[in-house]
Structure 1
């Protein structure tokens, strides 16, 4: 369920932690040099879950959480990559978030995620690219080889529907 100021105030209570403060705490815990991989994974997963709600979009931008997700895509930890890709996918439905992701090199990073051995990472990458295409990210539209790559995913049962939707969007735009 999406949040609004009234609902957030009711859930937080008079002495509770604000959403922005809670997200900041997750970022701080993630960035702690002694944080374990498990702690980092949990924090990125939590941040990705918050990224689906438009109420949190401004906080994602203020706290540089989108950039944190993008940084995670370069990690060797497949769980971090999966959760970060999910966070990006959740957030880029918003044009401001999409612009940040595009400006920070998110398109090639998402395209790289298409070769992940983790199914969810691939699904999130395809869906994220769809949103970025929908919003008009010229960086996505100018990618050579993207049509061929997505066409290959159309042939894989687990990805076929999602890949077909993106491919249809690409081909409609090019006509």
Structure 2
């Protein structure tokens, strides 16, 4: 076995131990720490195959419906990291990821919302575009684009310019109240 294979086997065992710890612990703090570690490992494409084998993308998706804002933030952060990979992107799309991610737009956490917007952009394909640029989402992005928070406004403007049609944006802007049909602006 080469040094690279040995390191790869050790990495898989480590990731497997993290997943097992996450599943077995009753401590919320431990779950948060493990999920944050897994989200960090999802930055590196070397880990994608192992994370897929360990069903970590599904774990991240499951966290998006939790009441604990830390778990949601780490889950969406992990998804955002993984969805640049084509296989991961397809898995997240087929697992209903866009609707779960869209729900994260109403989070009161800045990082959660920014990761959600970014993930939606990464997941936008010909097949997913209608869901990702649905009127409530476009209206929400119009609201974000008007925010005093530069991170929100800049990312929302990119979303509107690169993923929406002019007609979609104009329709969203023409609405008298930007309620986003239940997607409130996060607190700045």
Q: Same fold (TM over 0.5)?
A: yes
TM range (shorter): 0.7 to 0.9
Deviations 1:5-36 (A, max 9, x none): 96785xx4xxx97111111111100001x430
Q: Indicate the larger mover: 59-68 or 139-148.
A: 139-148
Aligned position for 2:21: 29
| Correspondence for 2:104 among 109, 113, 136 | 113
Paired residue for 1:67?
A: 58
Alignment of 1:11-160 (within 5 A): 12=7, 18-32=10-24, 34-133=25-124, 136=125, 138-143=127-132, 144-145=134-135, 146-156=137-147, 157=149, 158-160=151-153
The 2-side partners of 1:38 and 1:108 are apart by 27
Question: Paired residues, what number?
Answer: 163
Equivalent in the alignment of 2:155: 162
Report the aligned-residue RMSD.
Answer: 2.3
| Structure 1 unmatched ranges of 5 or more | none
Q: Distance in 2 between matches of 1:141 and 1:19?
A: 38
TM-score between both structures, scaled by the size of structure 2: 0.79
Inter-partner Cα distance in structure 1 for 2:50 and 2:166: 32
Distance 1:173 1:99 in 2: 27
Contact 1:107 1:140 in 2 (8 A): no
- TM-score after normalising by structure 1: 0.85
Over alpha carbons, which structure has the higher Rg? 2
